[in-house]
Amino acid sequence: MHTQSFQDQFFAQPMYQQFNRIVTHFESDENEPAVVKYLRAHSQM
């Protein structure tokens, strides 16, 4: 078995910091539209 779990690897990635920032915005009251825009922009890649 791997000594590092998937979560450990994921949390170690810079991508996690970016994702965490998005989640923080999503949990804010008025930032949902911005998150939707962000997700739409990245889903077209």
Q: What is the pLDDT of residue 28?
A: 62
Note the pLDDT tens digit of each residue in 1-45: 556 787 777 667 777 777 777 777 666 656 567 777 778 888 875
Residue ranges of domains in the chain: 13-43
Q: Is the pTM of this model over 0.85?
A: no
User: What separation in angstroms does the CA of 33 have from each of 16, 27, 37, 45?
Assistant: 21, 12, 6, 19
Q: What is the pLDDT of residue 24?
A: 74
